[in-house]
Amino acid sequence: MKNLLKISLIAVSLFFSASLYASEGSFVLKVKGINEKSVTFYIDEAQIVDVSIYGTENELLYEKRIKAKRGSSKTYDLSSFPDGSYTFKITTESKSTEYQLSIVNGKTIVSNPLITETIKPVLTKEDEMITLNLENASKGPVEVRIINEYNDELYKEVFEGELALTKKFNVSRVGLGELTFLIKSENQEFTKVVQMR
């Protein structure tokens, strides 16, 4: 009976820890040890990640692109860094996360993450149809504009409060040339040129 109670308690604590870990997003940055100047970066899904470390004057100190595997981790040794404030930035296709690192008396302190979602529309052309897929649209208004190579506006619409957006455009009467898709959301803008040939 005692063993069953212990196993149940361990299972509940592991489940609770896993849910806390997952709630921080697809990656987490933690200090490796109490008296260490190193941090460990955990990632829970396979993706391409850009890792950057900036100094006090916003100068780039380190930059690397990683093809991360699901459930992987990477440790960064900061022992050569003097005491001060640093920014650890992790960027994926759809998200940018910044951690403020403070190194004081040989100890590293990590702030809570500042997460910025980025719009990343996917445009696919098949025959005479172009499909716009915007899965991570912001909750605010999203403006979609299409202009041709002569800068004539062919389409404009504002979508309010939609988290996922899929829109199909029939381009059979557009002719040859190119179309430029302009997608704006709050403080972000995305531009993509589609060749009609």
Domains and CATH numbers, the chain: 10-117 (2.60.40.3080), 122-195 (2.60.40.3080)
Write out pLDDT tens, residues 41-76. 888 887 888 899 999 888 999 999 988 888 888 888
Q: In whole numbers, what is the pLDDT of the chain averaged over residues?
A: 79
DSSP structural state of residue 174: T
DSSP secondary structure string, 99-158?
A: EEEEEETTEEEEPPPEEEE----EEEEETTEEEEEETT--SS-EEEEEEETT--EEEEEE
Alpha carbons 121 and 180: distance in angstroms, whole number: 13
Predicted confidence at residue 19, as pLDDT, reads 31
Write out pLDDT tens, residues 161-184. 766 788 899 988 887 789 999 988
Alpha carbons 27 and 37: distance in angstroms, whole number: 20
Tokens 């991360």 identify what position? Answer: 68
Report the range out of 8-22, 34-48, 176-190 with the highest average pLDDT: 176-190
